[in-house]
Homo-oligomer: A and B are copies of this chain.
Amino acid sequence: MAEWPRPASGSESPRYAGPATFFRLPLRRTGLDIALFGVPFDGATTLRPGARLGPRALREASTLIRPRHGRSGLAPFELCQVADAGDAPVRPFDVAATLAEVEGFVAGLCAGGTAPLMAGGDHLMSLPVLRGLRRAGAAPSPPWGMVHLDAHSDTAGSFLGARFTHGTPFRHAVEEGLLAPARVVQIGLRGGSYGPDDLAWAREAGITLLDMPAVERMGVAGVVAEARRVIGTGPCWVSLDLDVLDPAFAPGTGTPEWGGLTPRELLGILDGLYGAQVVGGDVVELSPPQDHAGITALAGATLLFELLCLIAAARAG
C-alpha cells in the first residue's frame, strides 16, 4: 500500500527548493482522497489568452503556502491523502477534443471516489471536470449545487458563433443535468453587458444571482446565509474564477472587471461554507502573462488551499 503523501517540509528545505508541485506534494494519481490536477488549456477564452500557463504558475506559488490552515487550524494533508496528479491531457487547437480528453482523465482519476480539485485553465474546463466526475460514478449523483464566485455568469448561449467558450460552461452543465439551477448561486457578477437579456437565461433557469451591488448590500454574512440557503445540504461544487476579485488583487486574468471582491470578503465567504457537502472544486482563469509580482498566482494558490480545506473538511465530516 502506498505511503501517505506528505508535502516536503518547509522546515527541512526552503520553500523555494525543488521542482514545484502543488503544495510540494508528491506526484501520484491513485489511492487519493483528493486529487489536485491542472488543465493547461485556454482555447476557449474570448479576450486575453494565457490561462494555459496557469497550472504551472499555481504550482510555483503554492509552494509558498504552509500546510496548516491559519484561521481554522485545519491540517488537510493529515486529514486526507492528497497529491499532485499532474495535468489532464489537452488538445490545444481543438476545443471539442479537449472536452473529451479532460472528461476521460477525470473519470479515471475519480473512479475510486477521489474528489477532484482542478487548477485552470479557462473556465470552460469546469464543464468536462463535472462531466468526468459524473462518469466516474463514485461521487453523490448529480445534479449538484454550486457556489460560483465570478464576475461573469458564464451562462451565455454562444459567443462569436461558438457554443463552447469560457462564457458558456454552466448553461451546458445545467442543460446536461450536472447542476441543479435552483441550487446554484453566483456571487460577484458585474461589468457591462451586450444587451438587456444577457442574464435572462440564468434568471429563468432559477439560478440565484448575487451581483456586486447585492454583495455590497448584503455584506459577507448576508451572502453566506443566502449561499447556504441556496445550496442546501446536498452535494455541491465550488467554482472560483479569479476575476471575481477586483483587478488590483487579480491583474493576472483574461477578462478583468472593475470593482470586484476583496481578498478578505472572499475568504469570509469561503469560511462560511464549512459544513456544506463540497464534493470538489476549481480555481480558474489565472493568466500569468498579465500577472505581476505573482500576486494573482499567490491569490490562486491561497484559494486552491482554501478549497482543499473545504473539501477535506467535508470528507472528514
**Residues 212-251 of A contacting B (Cβ, < 8 Å):** 212-213, 216, 246-249, 251
Contacting pair A50 B289 (CB below 8 A) = yes
Instruction: Give Cα A59 to B17, complex, Å.
Output: 11
Tell me the A residues contacting B by CB distance below 8 Å.
9-21, 27, 38, 40, 42-50, 52-53, 55-56, 59-60, 64-71, 73, 75, 84, 86-87, 89-95, 97, 159-162, 164-165, 190-196, 198, 211-213, 216, 246-249, 251-252, 255-256, 258-260, 262-264, 267-268, 289-295, 298-299, 302, 305
Report, nearest first, the 5 A-B pairs whose CB atoms are least far apart: A66-B192, A289-B289, A251-B293, A49-B49, A93-B162
Contacting pair A69 B14 (CB below 8 A) = no
Within 8 Å by CB of A49, from B52, B165, B248, lies B52
Give every chain B residue within 8 A of A246 (Cβ-Cβ): 249, 262-264
Within 8 Å by CB of A14, from B15, B40, B198, lies B40
Give every chain B residue within 8 A of A159 (Cβ-Cβ): 11
Contacting pair A289 B48 (CB below 8 A) = yes
Give every chain B residue within 8 A of A13 (Cβ-Cβ): 87, 89-90, 160
Minimum CB–CB distance from A260 to chain B (whole Å) comes to: 8
Minimum CB–CB distance from A226 to chain B (whole Å) comes to: 19
Counted per complex, copies of this chain come to 6
Contacting pair B49 A192 (CB below 8 A) = no
Q: Do A16 and B48 form a contact, CB below 8 Å, given A258-B298, A291-B293?
A: yes
Instruction: Give Cα A40 to B8, complex, Å.
Output: 15
Within 8 Å by CB of A40, from B16, B165, B299, lies B16
Give every chain B residue within 8 A of A66 (Cβ-Cβ): 191-194
Give every chain B residue within 8 A of A9 (Cβ-Cβ): 194
Nearest opposing residue in chain B for A261, CB measure = B264
Give every chain B residue within 8 A of A19 (Cβ-Cβ): 19-21, 27, 56, 59, 84, 86
Contacting pair B162 A91 (CB below 8 A) = yes
* Most B Cβ at <10 Å: residue of A48, A60, A90, A211: A48
Within 8 Å by CB of A16, from B47, B73, B292, lies B47
Q: Do A87 and B18 form a contact, CB below 8 Å, given A67-B192, A249-B246?
A: yes
Give every chain B residue within 8 A of A298 (Cβ-Cβ): 247, 256, 258
Contacting pair B46 A258 (CB below 8 A) = no
